[in-house]
Amino acid sequence: MSGRPILEVPESITGPWKGDVNIPCTYGPLQGYTQVLVKWLVQHGSDPVTIFLRDSSGDHIQQAKYQGRLHVSQKVPGDVSLQLSTLEMDDQSYYTCEVTWQTPDGNQVVRDEITELRVQKLSVSKPTVTTGSGYGFTVPQGMRISLQCQAQGSPPISYIWYKEQTYNQKPIKVATLSTLLFKPAVVADSGSYFCTAKGRVGSEQHSDIVKFVVKDSPKLLKTKTEAPTTMRHPLKATSTVKQSWDWTTDVDGYLGATSAGPGKSLPIFAIILIISLCCMVVFTMAYIMLCRKTSQQEHVYEAARVHAREANDSGDTMRVAIFASGCPSDEPASQNLGNNYSDEPCIGQEYQIIAQINGDYAHLLDTVPLDYEFLATEGKTAC
């Protein structure tokens, strides 16, 4: 009928088992004709069953079997093609595309077309290698790029990437994915590559060998050339301990600390360590001298007490000289009774104590404690 929409559907289409398929159904939009209903039906037995419906309320999938696997185009006016994913063998059947329009005079026009879907276990085709870069297979160093290996056939399809070796050596495996990614590409990545594809059905297929070239970027070359002049003080950090505290730290080309050369100072922790050691030596020497002085004084006083007891027992007058620092006195001993102390210092501020003791012990002690005398008097009275 002239002047009315016409559906265009292929007679048959073949899809890969476990793969995806698109069943085309299109028409040319006409002015005054408004699409109001779209249906897709599948033949089960003798009667067709609606599996998809699109109306004013939206899209509706009518069979649970197709949930998540079925989609109908709507972005392009006049395109209501059916997409099926993960094809199973029982998806093979006759499919009907049905569209309803409203005419300018308010009537409705319905058109439908039938197509056959065939599902096959397809062998993997020969894979092709592509790259998304505008540089092709010759790229500058430092660029992030990938090589894609693509093949047709029943999924799942496994891919392996190989790199050719020199001197007729066996190629080495470099990846087990469909995408070979370089992030970033360096000159060492240059070489000849190829990929293989293997599916559920058929033998493994090999792609053509592609020559991948990574060129050293002129910008990088310029940077490398200018590096020795611009980096006059490269980052350098050393820490060594040598004899005589020859410790150095050099960061960013500046000497941190050393004691081996003139005009250079020690690091702070070395100075603290030296000061601590000096303090320890001073305190140790002072402690030793104090101990020796105390020991000598105790020895001298002990000798004085021993000689005093001997003199008392023999009844002789004895002279005991005690020297604060071993300085003898040349003055003659006084014969007076009692204890005489000389306030005159000898050489080096040394002092001499002279004790004279006679046979009478009572005269050595100028006084007797009052308590002792009182007790002695009472004793005599009692007698």
Q: Which residue has the higher pLDDT, 111 or 349?
A: 111
Question: What's the whole-number mean pLDDT along residues 126-144?
Answer: 88
Beta bridge partners of 311: none
Rounded to 5 degrees, what are φ and ψ at 66?
-100, 5
Highest mean pLDDT among 29-33, 55-59, 241-245, 317-321: 55-59
In DSSP notation, 68-89 reads: TTEEE--SSTTB--EEE-S--G
* pLDDT (0 to 100) of residue 122: 85
* pLDDT (0 to 100) of residue 213: 93
Question: What's the whole-number mean pLDDT along residues 296-316?
Answer: 54
Residue 131: which residues within 8 A CB-CB, separation 6 or more?
Answer: 137, 145, 146, 147, 148
Question: What's the whole-number mean pLDDT along residues 62-88?
Answer: 94
- Could you give the strand order of the β-sheet that contains 318-323, starting from the edge strand earlier in sequence? 318-323, 352-357, 339-341
Alpha-carbon distance 42 to 61, whole Å? 12
Rounded to 5 degrees, what are φ and ψ at 99?
-130, 140
300: pLDDT confidence band, cut at 50, 70 and 90? Answer: low
Instruction: Read off the pTM.
Output: 0.44
Over the range 308-335, which residues count as b (16 or more CB within 10 Å of their CB) and which as e? eeebbeeeeeeebeeebeeeebeeeeee
Question: What's the whole-number mean pLDDT along residues 124-146?
Answer: 88
Q: Which residue has the higher pLDDT, 53 or 349?
A: 53
pLDDT beyond 60 at 106: yes
pLDDT beyond 90 at 222: no
Residue in 52, 48, 47 with CA at minimum distance from that of residue 63: 52
pLDDT beyond 70 at 379: no
**DSSP label of 67:** T
pLDDT beyond 90 at 22: yes
Q: Which residue has the higher pLDDT, 50 or 263?
A: 50
Question: What's the whole-number mean pLDDT along residues 125-133?
Answer: 89
Residue 364: which residues within 8 A CB-CB, separation 6 or more?
Answer: 312, 338, 339, 357, 358
Q: For a pLDDT cut of 90, what percent of the chain falls above it?
A: 46
For residue 3 the two structure tokens come to 């002047």
Alpha-carbon distance 102 to 5, whole Å? 11
Q: Which residue has the higher pLDDT, 208 or 227?
A: 208
Calculate the alpha carbon distances from 361 to 115, 223, 242, 304, 376 in Å.
150, 108, 73, 16, 17
